[in-house]
Amino acid sequence: MSSRVETTRSPAGLLRELPAGWAQTIITSPTRRELDRSPAALFTQLHRVLRDDGTLWLLCAENGLPGVLEQQGWMPRPVDWATPLQVDPAGRARLHLFVKQPRYHYNPQTAQLFPPARAQAALAWAAGRRGCCAWSPGQRRALIRLCILAGSSKTACGACGAPYTRTTHGRRATCAHHNPTGRCLVLDPFYQPGARTHETAERYGRAFLGITTGERR
């Protein structure tokens, strides 16, 4: 698949129709209202659909969700490389990283793509201002871009979907097929057009599936 958005009244129901271990990375930013609609069932399905070496990047307010995910078997991991963008300037939301297994696909070179020192200083200053608004659209898109690059690979196995890793000698397969014809899938179960996640995924050669209830306009 390349890129598409599915509209449904039941995101969890749609996820049940997807094969297990299908998505390489999940990047999403649900609203509080969306999370109040039985998040346990939905994130159970996301755990099944995500590859064992996959990652879940969650941009949201704390509101107890990280604890719920840990009870479901998700494993939290630090994202120090995203500081100071990790927390929105208003302090109401945060970027969380969850995985299924201790070993997961991660591109350490993503940290080198973070804005230079001057931009970091400006963001840190903004974060300390009282009354400052939450992530701007540009900051949110920058975070999504970094999450896509960190959690997926431009090349994947055409047989099983396993991501290729980058080495000093080029890209290397992480499976036994050696079939570099696939694309890593980025999944957003709370898709919102303004985030432009689909555009970013396509720009960097990833496949994309967004799920929406059609309520966000």
For residue 21, is it within any domain?
yes
77 vs 127, more confident: 77
For residue 164, is it within any domain?
yes
Count of domains observed in the chain: 1
Mean pLDDT in the chain? 83
For residue 94, is it within any domain?
yes
For residue 187, is it within any domain?
yes
Mean pLDDT lowest among 30-39, 80-89, 154-163, 208-217: 80-89
For residue 217, is it within any domain?
no
For residue 7, is it within any domain?
yes
For residue 163, is it within any domain?
yes
pLDDT at 107: 86
For residue 87, is it within any domain?
yes
Q: What is the mean pLDDT of residues 192-208?
A: 91
| 60: containing domain | 3-123+132-212
Q: Domain of 38: which CATH number?
A: 3.40.50.150
Backbone CA torsion sign across 215, 198, 31, 120? negative
pLDDT at 202: 94
Q: What is the per-residue DSSP string for the chain?
A: --EEEEE-S-HHHHHHTSPTT-EEEEEE---HHHHTS-HHHHHHHHHHHEEEEEEEEEEE--TTHHHHHHHTT-EEE--GGGTTTTB-TTSS-EEEEEESSSS----GGGGGGS--HHHHHHHHHHHTSTT--S--HHHHHHHHHHHHHHH--S-B-TTT-PBPEEETTEEE-SSSS--TTB-PEEEETT--GGG-HHHHHHHTT-EEEEEE-S---
Is the pLDDT at 95 greater than 80, yes or no?
A: yes
Total-model pTM: 0.87
